Structure 1
Amino acid sequence: MTNFYLKIQKVEKTCLFELSWGQGQHITSEISYPENIIADHEQWQKIYINFYSNQLRGKVINKGMVMPPPVDWQAQLVQAEAKLLYEFHQWLRSEKLYEIRTKISKQAVENYNNELKANAASNINIFISCNSPELEYLPWEAWEISTELTSGKLRIVRQPLNVRQEVTNSFPKISRKAKILAIFGDDTGLSFADESRAISSLEKVANVKVKSIRWDKQKDINNWKDEIITTLTAQSWDMLFFAGHSNETTFTGGQISIAPNVSISLSEIEKPLTTAINNGLKFAIFNSCDGLSIANKLIDLGLSQVAIMREKIHNRVAGEFFVQFLNALKEYQDVHEALLTASDYLKVEKNLTYPSAYLIPSLFRHPNAELFRLQPNGIKHKIQQWLPTSRETVALGTIVILSLITPVRQAVIDLQIGMQAVYRDVTQQVPKGNTPPVLLIHIDEKSLNEVNTKANKFNPLDRSYFARLIDKLTKDNAKVIAIDYLFDRITDEDKILAKSVVNSINQNGTWFIFGSMLNDDNQEQGVNKSVANLNQTLQGYVDHHQGHLSLVNTNQDCIQSCPFTYLITLVSGINQEKLPANLPQPQSWRNPDLRTDLIKYLNETPKNLSLSQKIRKLRLSTVSRFSEYFGQAWLYPIIDYSLPPNQVYQVINAGNYLKNNTTLKPENFQQQVVLIGAAGYKDSGLSDDHSDIFPLPLGVAYWRIQNPTTGLLQEMAGVEINAYMIQNLIKQHLIIPIPDLWIIGMAILLGKGTKLFLLQNQQSKRSSHLFIALLIGGNLIYALISMQIYITLSLLVPLFLPSATFWMYILSGLRKKNA
């Protein structure tokens, strides 16, 4: 906010303009005294009084006794106003005032540029003081100083030429209601109905307490005077309102009519007024005629701001103006904004009915005073100030909708996990030393070409190649073999593969888990009986929520269908623990379905067994299951791609394995899960629409950049995703994502609270910058805490959308504060 101080003094036949600002800077200019404009004003004033000849809130002198012929006073008033304003603006556009106008215009442009940079509005206040009544009566509020300025950003405010009293801005902030004293004086020929209703309604909707006192013909005049003085001084008031007749006086500070033929000069009640000011009176509005001397007197007594009518005012105009003024106060505008709002209403909405009325209101203000405004308080207003504005509603709605859109949610989680990988690496919180639980055998195009695989044997892949791998794994005593291929079609090599499977089961009791797909009826489309018998082997569907682990619902079992990685985890747990001999196991002579018998057996095992406890942890929570109805994945464990691949699985090329060109330790085969899958060659998927190649998660991408010699793919093969899921499940490493919507709700409360703190506390520019720096630092600390919680507590606390929510409020608050 920028303040200029413009002093206009009549010196004989000239006007001296002195503009001051900042730290003592000032410009002076001298132009001729506008005799023609003073005459235009007097002519406009006469026509104005004739148009509003009845129900004026002041005395009209020398109207004359002879009835004039009918005159269209409205047309004459419109012409007189146009002539007055034209001559007034032409005078102010004088070449001699160019430097003053240029300074204000340049400041306007500078403020505008700063607004664009800071995205915040900035007002320019011009305090005008005049040394003669003729100059004071001119409509300075209508001065068009700069075309660069939009309405509401340049505000003309008045101040007396001489200001002798200091103003007190240091009244303690209290939580009580603002107190308004309304004095209704002489109502002869007037009606205060509009003001009475407006001020009564103010008490109902705003945080105010109104005390109204009014003249009544039943009252004794001396008692009425005592009531005014006693009420004015007996307690502290924040705002004083007077409605009635008033007039200018030369030496007594103006006078107000409190009863028919009874007036009080402000000099007569100077002491009570001073007491009221010392008790905390901050603002007064006199909705009556000819208030210039009243305003000058009150500012001279030390009151910080006064709104008055410079000219005579019609009763209906006064009522409508006050209603609009109070409506603006209800919106917690300051008194200057409220006066401009009410004046604009008269100009735009009521100019045809009440011409020239918008030129009459003026605000006088001590140069060091803070503008008065009503402050919201009480439960109702506290609730209202926490409610979102229209802009906040749009912004919040956008953020909430984004948080519910699955691709957006997945992208945000992927970005945060990518940051998490960097944080793990920088803080050296990467698991080390243990052999990965998964041995991943990649079947790539090179391996297949080395054994002369024909083109038509790539999809479906030559089953004899799997047989060779299984035979080799059987020799190496592998206990758990999972194959991430779909064997639903019959091929010529099925018998070769089936023989190798049975042979491995007979020799080592090997657990085989084959991949399957869920069809449109949610039934598994899996391994063909020509390849494997499900009485001896297991199968599970590889379908899963992108980015999430495959878990089982708490109210379901795995008998009808079961996730591929979940079954592998169960078998791995069985392989690692000593379980009773009657446990269903792979045997070539079994008749019942192996998966059915296994699941039933595990459901009946004692709950205190470690395997039973692990199984219970691998089931979806009630909240997760509930959120699935709305297409959400609340608290649904995610795949932790922040772990480096070499800690998740040990990868070898299928061709190298068959040629014994590896450094594998034989003893690891009994502990690791062997996972066989495609290495992302072109024909590895079911079809072009069902590719087995996926976008590379940012976390994995980071680790591959750190280890470019690992020979891993540039994309993410489906089998690698399954490897991550198997490792997370075996290690019971379940990262629970807190829903964005929950943390956004917390960010709304924190952001709104911080915004209200910004708006309700006056701060220097340096303090504001420091506060913003602290908020930025706090956001960074939140990010670090969020990433540490991820590692320590296995919780993913959303970072980006809640932060966006918080800063939406902060930027909105800064914009409004600087307006």
Structure 2
Amino acid sequence: MAKLVVLKVGEGSFDEGFPVTMQIGEEGDAPAIQTLGKLPPAPEIPQYYNCWQSAYLCLGWSTRLEAKPVQVTNVSVIEDCWHAVQVLRNRLNSWIHSESFRAIREKWLEKLLPSDEIRAILQTEDLVLQRLPWHFCDLFERYPKAELALSAPAYERVKQISQTKDKVAILAILGDSTGIDTQADRALLEQLPGATVQFLVEPQRQELNNQLWSRGWDILFFAGHSSSLINGDGRICINRTDTLSISDLRYALKTAVAHGLKLAIFNSCDGLGLARELANLYIPQVIVMREPVPDKVAQEFLKNFLYAFAGGQPFYLSVREARERLQGLEDEYPCASWLPVIYQNPAETPPRWAALSRPISVDKSENNHSRQRSLKKIGSQHLRRMLLTSVLVTSVTWGLQQIGAFQPLELKVFDQLMRLRPQEATDPRLLVVAITEEDFKLPEQKNRTGSLSDLALAQLLEKLEQYQPRAIGLDIYREDPVNPQFKNLAQYMQQSDRFIAVCKISEPTASEDPSVAPPPEVPEARQGFSDVVVDPDGILRRYLVAVNPHPASICSAPYAFSAQLAFRYLAAEGVFPQWTPQGHLQLGNVILPRLQPHTGGYQTIDTAGFQMLLNYRSYRLPENIANKVTLTDVLRNRIRPDDVRNRIVLIGVTAPSVGDYFATPYSTSGGAYQKMAGVFVHAQMVSQMLSAVKNQRPLLWVLPQGSEFLWIWGWSIVGSVLAWRYRSVLHLELALAITLIVLYALCFALFAYQSCWVPFVPSTLALIATSASIVVQNASQKQGQSTKLYAGSN
């Protein structure tokens, strides 16, 4: 946000000093800071200024003050001028470093950053203060985006009448051109993009008066001879014989202001007298030359100002850039960069070039008409450019997505969305019997060769069976046969329809992750594989339901351990698995879709077998998926019959020493991914299948490929519209930030409440990239127009 600084200089003199009030605020807002100070007595400063002015006037150029022969300027006169400059500059800086002015200086340095865009206004009636080179003060030199304007203490905003215009309307007065080249000014104005210029060449007073009354002008321009009288009044030479004061055009100028006049440029000599009189008419902005100005300097300033302003630069920065570029002429024309100055009506905000052709809204209905006209001004050509850019950006983004460029980031977003979902209740159909480190120390575990001894397993199954569970799943590898002394256990494992055991498929030739055989007592129909598919970043987000085992694998189970448990539970209610012609798994009326190679954020994964997205049941701790008891609790009769009856009981190891843990999308308080014991992973998978069939809990799903493309393209179009709507970089950045929040909120709402995973990362990239592309194209177009203007003037 640009800053506005107003320095109000009270009544005083160089002999007594000047009281100063400084106000600082955001552009368009009331001042937020006010500081008082004083410029101490400095009677020598007017003397130093007069010395410099005398040296400057002795340079002898042909200026726009009056027509006179060119005089030869020698080196000593130029050196005298530069010496006077240095003396005045040093004294001016020491003046603002005085102790009585310290509070203002320090507040300025404290509240304003060198990167800030600053409009500074000096309000004073003192003529010498207005003529001093304030831009030499270090307060301005260290701020590259600050420019000082002058202002009268009294001002007022004039209510302007709405005018409908497609182009900037300029009334250009080319006055007495004796000894100067006003045709160069004309050539510059004729090259302006988006402007209509009415030229009055050495007009008569009545002709000028009529034109000021006739229509709504945005800019009034004068080139020719002018001067300020001793009493402070200004006069312009409109032709070779007639001179006029501002008061001679008072009523016509007041009418022009009421009809929308925003800016007056007097590219002529000694214009402060003109500016003060124009300020009494409340013209919003005036640009004048403080002193007599050489013809070449006037032309260069106008060229550089129009190049910057019509190219989209803010008004004040355009003036500063054009003024500072005059330094390149100062070997021939010393102090050229001093001359241009803004005279500002503080009640008005400086316009931008693009805004000058837009009508002023005077009421709500007029504002609506203005907005409609602005929308129509997009034009078919601009609309085609926006659509073409959005299609190109979307296509590139889509291509990058298809090769998996966004997969790592998109999966991180998936994890975050998973963590943010509302919490769900514990699944009442499940019970987990966890074998902990303490359970390894039980007497029943004395002769164990793995995680669970034959004795402990026999007693555990006996205890559970008396409470009639619907299914029991043993998530512990048992490759060795049961000890002959536990014949009942072997018989139970061989004959019980409730009991499901695990094995591991893997690849038969894999040395690091070999396959594991099932218990020899359990038939193949009641075996389930424990294999899971982990993403490249080590996170478990997918559910492997079924595979075709390798013929050489010692585990030939076609279904997952969790799927076998779910099938056993549903079979008791008459629901059996079926395969659709499309290769999807159907349970009752619910179809479980197969994961495709390009699904949501997944683009470069192996989808072998039948895989699904794992829709975790949402908890702060994923292990809260089911009620949990320990082996000790069961063997010591610390469980209730209802904890087991008609439930699926999963038996597995949670002891950390075994290492049967998997990383999940959930995170710990320290930010690391939370790991979950394998038995709880299987519980999550069982719950997902049962909940989909019995409770109609949605499965995670994604949009079809074509719909995903349209989703990304839609956000790309939003980016192009924002870039067209907001020409200010700050406003565009704010709009993009709000839009990204909306995009993320939509992605979360769809994920949390509809279980739909839509692409966030490519949509974000398309939004920002399209917006940036439109901004670059607009800047390039303006640059081209300004370059054409600049080139045409040379």
* Pairing partner for 2:440 from 423, 444, 448: 448
The answer as to whether partners of 1:641 and 1:724 remain within 8 angstroms in 2 is no
In the alignment, what sits opposite 1:304?
284
1:561-595, CA deviations, whole angstroms, 9 ceiling, x for partnerless residues? 9773662475146424326xxx8xxxxxxxxxxxx
Q: 1:229 to 1:35 in 2, by over 3 A?
A: closer
Distance of 2:326 and 2:230 partners within structure 1: 30
| 2:573 partner letter | E
Match for 2:132 among 133, 138, 146? Answer: 138
* Residue of structure 2 aligned with 1:508, choices 497, 521, 542: 497
Match of 2:363 in 1: none
Q: Secondary structure at the match of 1:294?
A: helix
- Closer, same or farther in 2 for the Cα pair 1:731/1:201, shift >3 Å? farther
SS in 1 for 2:378: helix
Deviation at 1:364, TM superposition (A): 1.0
8 Å CA contact 1:639–1:724 kept in 2: the answer is yes
Using the alignment, how far apart are the partners of 1:41 and 1:521 within structure 2?
Answer: 92
Root-mean-square deviation (Å): 5.8
CA–CA separation in structure 1 for the residues paired with 2:713 and 2:648: 41
* Structure 2 counterpart of 1:729: 689
What is the 5 A alignment of 1:19-418? 19-20=20-21, 30-32=41-43, 34=45, 36-47=47-58, 49-50=59-60, 53-54=61-62, 56-59=63-66, 71=75, 75-90=79-94, 92=95, 98-99=99-100, 101-112=101-112, 121=116, 123=118, 125-132=120-127, 136-144=130-138, 146=139, 150-152=142-144, 155-160=147-152, 163=154, 166-168=156-158, 177-187=167-177, 190-191=180-181, 195=185, 199=189, 202-203=192-193, 208-213=194-199, 215=201, 228-249=208-229, 253-259=233-239, 263-330=243-310, 332-347=312-327, 351-352=330-331, 354-375=333-354, 378-379=377-378
Report if aligned partners of 1:440, 1:675 keep a CA contact under 8 Å in 2: yes
Distance 1:191 1:558 in 2: 89
Question: Corresponding residue for 1:814?
Answer: none
Q: Using a 3 Å threshold, how does the CA distance of structure 1 residues 576 and 604 change in structure 2: closer, same or farther?
A: farther
**Whole-angstrom CA distance in 2 between matches of 1:472 and 1:350:** 102
Stretch of structure 1 that moved more, 490-499 or 310-319 = 490-499
Asked if structure 2 preserves the Cα contact closer than 8 Å seen for 1:167 and 1:302, the reply is yes
Partner deviation per Cα, 1:27-62 (whole Å, 9 max, x = no partner): 585442545314422333134x33xx25x3332668
- Does 102-111 or 782-791 show the bigger shift? 782-791
- 1:319 deviates by 2.9
Distance apart, 1:493 and its partner CA? 5.6
User: Aligned match of 1:642 in 600, 615, 619?
Assistant: 619
Equivalent residue for 1:5? 8
1:116-152 deviations in Å (ceiling 9; x for gaps): 9xxx9484734243444x55443234344x59x8315
CA distance in 2, matches of 1:505, 1:46: 116
Q: CA separation in 2, counterparts of 1:446 and 1:24? A: 73
* 1:492 to 1:523, Cα distance in 2 relative to 1, 3 A: same
Please name the residue that 1:688 is paired with: none
Alignment partner, residue 482 of structure 1: 473
Inter-partner Cα distance in structure 2 for 1:339 and 1:758: 20
Residue 787 of structure 2 is matched in structure 1 by none
Hey, what does 1:716 align to over in structure 2?
676
CA distance in 1, matches of 2:384, 2:40: 50
Contact kept in structure 2, 1:188 and 1:260, CA below 8 Å: yes
- Aligned AA (1:298): L
Report the counterpart of residue 590 of structure 1 in structure 2.
none
Letter in 1 for 2:517: N
Give, in whole Å, the separation in 2 of the partners of 1:737 and 1:121: 48
CA drift at 1:341: 2.5
Q: Deviation at 1:297?
A: 1.9
Q: Is the 8 Å Cα contact of residues 547 and 638 (structure 1) preserved in structure 2?
A: no
Deviations along 1:227-247, whole A, 9 cap, x unmatched?
A: 544443322122223333333
> Following the alignment from structure 1 to structure 2, what is the Cα–Cα distance between the partners of residues 606 and 406?
26
Q: 1:111 to 1:621 in 2, by over 3 A?
A: same
Q: 2:587 aligns with which of 599, 604, 611?
A: 611
Instruction: Kindly state the Cα deviation for residue 442 of structure 1 after the two structures are TM-superposed.
Output: 1.4
AA aligned to 2:56 is: Q
Q: Pick closer, same or farther for the CA change 1:336–1:621 going to 2, 3 Å.
A: same
Mapped contact 2:175–2:237 kept (Cα < 8 A)? yes
1:61-106 per-position Cα deviation (integer Å, ceiling 9, x unaligned): 6877xx78x646655544443233234445x3585xx42x223214
Deviations 1:142-178 (A, max 9, x none): 344x59x8315765321247x4x63326666979554
Q: Secondary structure at the match of 1:301?
A: coil
Cα displacement (A) at 1:745: 8.7
- 1:483 Cα offset (Å): 3.7
Instruction: Please give the alpha-carbon distance, in whole angstroms, between the structure 1 residues aligned to 2:561 and 2:162.
Output: 67
State the percentage of identical aligned residues: 18
| CA–CA distance in structure 2, aligned partners of residues 88 and 507 of structure 1 | 102
Aligned 1:535-546 pairs, distance under 5 A: 537-539=527-529, 541-545=531-535
SS of the aligned residue for 2:280 comes to: helix
Whole-Å separation in 2 of the counterparts to 1:169 and 1:372: 16
Give distance in 2, aligned partners of 1:178 and 1:501. 96
- C-alpha change, 1:19 and 1:630, in structure 2 (3 Å) is farther
Counterpart contact for 2:472–2:565, Cα < 8 Å: no
Tell me, in whole angstroms, the C-alpha distance in 1 between the residues paired with 2:18 and 2:583: 97
The answer on whether the counterparts of 2:505 and 2:549 sit within 8 Å (CA) in structure 1 is: no
Unmatched runs of 5 consecutive residues or more in structure 2: 24-33, 356-373, 388-392, 551-557, 768-794
Q: How many angstroms does 1:361 deviate by?
A: 0.9
Does the C-alpha gap of structure 1 residues 242 and 569 become closer, same or farther in structure 2, counting only changes over 3 Å?
farther
Give the SS at the match of 1:627.
coil
Q: What SS is found at the alignment partner of 2:9?
A: strand
Paired amino acid for 2:656: Y
- Which amino acid letter does the alignment assign opposite residue 577 of structure 1? E
Matched AA of 1:213: F
Aligned-residue offset at 1:356: 1.6
Task: Name whichever of 716-725 and 249-258 sits farther off.
Answer: 249-258
Rounded Cα–Cα distance in structure 2 between residues aligned with 1:787 and 1:723: 25
Task: Tell me the distance in 2 between the aligned counterparts of 1:538 and 1:565.
Answer: 4
Shift of residue 463, structure 1, vs aligned partner? 7.3
Counterpart position of 2:567: 571
Secondary structure at the aligned position of 2:688 is classed as: helix
The 1:247/1:455 distance shift into structure 2, 3 A limit, reads farther
Residue-pair matches, total: 694
Letter in 2 for 1:210: T
Q: Which runs of 5+ in 1 are unaligned?
A: 216-220, 388-392, 425-429, 584-597, 686-691, 703-713, 763-770, 807-819
